[in-house]
Amino acid sequence: MRLKGIALKAARKFAETPAGARILRLKVFRDYDVNSLLRLPAESRRPLAVHAGPLAQKTRRGWRGADLGIPSPPPGRTTIAELQRAYRAGETTPLEVLSHIEGRVRSEDFGQSVSSPFHSLDFQRARRAAETSTTRHRDGEPLGPLDGIPIPVKDHFLMEGLNVDAGSAHLDHRSETDAHLVEVLRDAGAILFATTHTTEWGMDPCGFSQHGAMPRNVYDSDFSAGGSSTGTGVAVSLGFAPVGVGSDGGGSIRIPSAMNGIFGLKPTFVRIGRTGDLFAGNSVSATGPLGTSTADVVEFLAVAATADDPDDPARRWGPRQRNLADRWRRALGRGVDGCRIGIFRREWEELDSALHQRTLHAVQQLEKDGAELVDIDIPLASHAPAIGMLTIGMETLANLQDEYAHHREQFSDSLRMSLSMFSTIDALDFMAARRTRAALRHRVRDVLDDVDLIALPTTRTTAAHYPADLGDTPFVDVNAIGDMTRFTFLANVTGLPAGTVPVGRHKGLPFGVQFVGGAWDEASVIAAMAHAERQGWARLIPPPGTSVLL
Domain ranges of the chain: 2-43+94-535
Q: Is the separation of the CB atoms in 526 and 474 below 8 Å? A: no
Alpha carbons within 13 A on the beta-carbon side of 269: 28
Residue 210 amino acid letter = Q
Radius of gyration of the chain (CA): 22
pLDDT given at position 51: 83
pLDDT given at position 423: 96
CATH superfamily, with its number, for domain 2-43+94-535: Amidase signature (AS) domain (3.90.1300.10)
**DSSP letters for 345-403:** HHHHTTS-HHHHHHHHHHHHGGGGGT-EEEE---GGGGGHHHHHHHHHHHHHHHHTHHH
pLDDT given at position 144: 97
pLDDT given at position 315: 78
pLDDT given at position 14: 94
pLDDT given at position 469: 85
Predicted confidence pLDDT, tens digits, the chain (550 residues): 788 889 999 999 999 999 999 999 999 999 999 999 999 999 999 999 888 889 998 887 788 889 999 999 999 999 999 999 999 999 999 999 999 999 999 999 899 999 999 999 999 999 999 999 999 999 999 999 999 999 999 999 999 999 999 999 998 778 999 999 999 999 999 999 999 999 999 999 999 998 888 999 999 999 999 999 999 999 999 999 999 999 999 999 999 999 999 999 999 999 999 999 999 999 999 999 999 999 999 999 999 999 999 998 887 777 888 899 999 999 999 999 999 999 999 999 999 999 999 999 999 999 999 999 999 999 999 999 999 999 999 999 999 999 999 999 999 999 999 999 999 999 999 999 999 999 999 999 999 999 999 999 999 999 999 988 887 788 889 999 999 999 999 999 999 999 999 999 999 999 999 999 999 999 999 999 999 999 999 999 999 999 999 8
The Cα 141–Cα 161 span in angstroms is 29
Helix axes 18-31, 413-422, angle to 10 degrees: 90
Q: Is the separation of the CB atoms in 509 and 480 below 8 Å? A: no
Question: Closest Cα to residue 38, out of 393, 486, 491, 426?
Answer: 426
The Cα 357–Cα 87 span in angstroms is 43
Number of H helices, E strands in the chain: 20, 15
pLDDT given at position 264: 98
Q: Is the separation of the CB atoms in 268 and 491 below 8 Å? A: no
Number of residues that this document lists for the chain: 550
The Cα 167–Cα 228 span in angstroms is 9
Question: Closest Cα to residue 206, out of 465, 497, 544, 510?
Answer: 465
